[in-house]
Amino acid sequence: MSMIEDQTTVATFSPAELYARILRDEPTFILDVRNEDEFARSSIEGRTKLTTLNLPYFEFLEDEDGCAARVPSDREVFVVCAKEGSSQYVAGILQERGYKARYLEGGYTSWGNFYDVRDVVNAAWGRIVQVARPARGDLSFAVISGGEAALIDPMRHTQVYLDLIAEAGAKLTRIFDTHVHADHISGGPALAEATGAPYYVHAYDAIHPIDMLPAVIAYTHIEEGHSFEVGQVKITTRWFPGHTLGQVNYRLDAPDGQSGLFTGDGIFLRSFGRPDLGGKGEAWTPMLYRSLTERLPTMVDDSTLILPAHFSTLDEGNAEGIFAAAYSEVRASNDALKPRDEAEFTTYVLSNLPVFPPEYVEIKRVNIGLSTPCDGTANELELGKNICALSG
């Protein structure tokens, strides 16, 4: 068992390095040594040049030579497991055989919890900063202007937001959720508690749609037309029911004429939010139809930046990993937004609903304070990529 003792000599790679490779579309060979079920549930996705082989570590235990022979020896091997230990073990086996192998620090869990921060807009009035969680396809934003900061849809790991606001020398004054999320745990309530900034959500979303129980977290109700100032920027609430009853978009207006729409799970760049995660898909679909056809046109002009809460595939973003586009582009490229009458739309929606992940019911409970998971449980609830968009 000398392998175990030699493990400290095996090199690692970080989630940030991996994501940089993926964005650059560098050829990358991933050896995922988790069991088949975990691998099937979620795995690292790239653009076009990422190759993955799933070969569970226990197969290496049984047959080191046979397994090693299935791994290409002419390129660097990036080994991934759930937490770290098994990938370190397998990378050690490969290294002993002359392979160039590294393993992911913290395993798939750390990939799932990796956040990428970059500016979408940097102007005289301030910045719009995108905070993405690439493994989940989750997006959130900070608006920083005149020494004030607002967050839109912040996620569970709140320190990343506190750090970026502190680095900007700003003060967090408002925390907005576009809706109560089903796929991931919001950082909003925790940030409100830590900073005293108000946490805004529409009251319709503060009732669990399946349990029919009200929120026990502190929140401030917002509704259509409520507007706020963040430094030089104006943020206006626009009701967009469909994905949830209380889904809202936040329209940003900057002094230079720049506008943006934080759409949450209303519309995405290539799709829109599914109306069935409250368990009422048939009842909510007509509402979604009116939001898309009647409400949305009043919220945007062609140049308005659409800033959604999710992406489904990395190619929705640009080469720099920015997942935002002008409405004119979105309208042209989003097949889900093409004109349909209500009957066609209903058929389209109801025939393109992906699987309903059972944990989404529990995540909604967590987000309104009805359930309080430990970190380990939270990681498991959030494992894998969001399934908030229609699959069509």
Partner 1 sequence: MTSFDQTLDVKGAKCPMPLVKSRKAIGDLPVGQVLKVVATDRGSVADFQGWAKTAKNVELVGQETVNEGGQDLYLHFIKRTA
Residues lying near partner 1 in the complex (CB under 8 A):
1, 4, 35-38, 56-59, 61-62, 81-83, 85-86, 89
Q: Which is nearer to partner 1, 134 or 384 (CB)?
A: 384
Q: Which is nearer to partner 1, 68 or 170 (CB)?
A: 68
Cα distance between residue 266 and residue 218, in whole Å = 24
Comparing CB distances to partner 1, the nearer of 1 and 355 is 1
What is the token pair recorded at 373? 């998971």
Known catalytic residue at 81:
yes
Radius of gyration of the chain, Cα coordinates, nearest whole angstrom: 22
Q: How far is CA 123 from the centre of its chain?
A: 25
- Rounded Cα distance, 144 and 233, in Å: 9
Query: What's the closest the beta carbon of residue 100 comes to partner 1, in angstroms?
Result: 21
Active-site position among 67, 81, 374, 388: 81
CB of 37 to partner 1, least distance (A): 6
Using the minimum distance from each CB to partner 1, give the nearer residue, 108 or 345: 108
Judged by beta carbon, residue 19 or residue 57, the one nearer partner 1 is: 57
Cβ–Cβ < 8 Å for 323, 311: yes
Integer Cα distance of 258 and 53 in angstroms: 45
HSE, CB side, 13 Å, CA atoms: give it for residue 233: 30
Q: How far is the CB of 110 from partner 1 (least distance, A)?
A: 15
Cβ proximity to partner 1: between 86 and 259 the closer is: 86
Least distance (Å) between residue 83 CB and partner 1: 6
Phi, psi of 128 (to 5 degrees): -110, 120
Give the whole-angstrom CA distance, residue 272 versus residue 263: 10
What is the smallest separation between the CB atom of 32 and partner 1, expressed in angstroms? Answer: 13
- Is the CB of 101 or the CB of 149 nearer to partner 1? 101
Residue 370 phi, psi dihedral angles, 5° rounding? -80, -10
**In the complex, minimum distance from the CB of residue 103 to partner 1, in angstroms, rounded to a whole number:** 12
> What is the rounded distance in angstroms from the CA atom of residue 15 to the CA atom of residue 17?
5
The residue behind tokens 């988790």 is 34
Neighbours of 156 (CB within 10 A): 21
Query: Active-site positions?
Result: 81
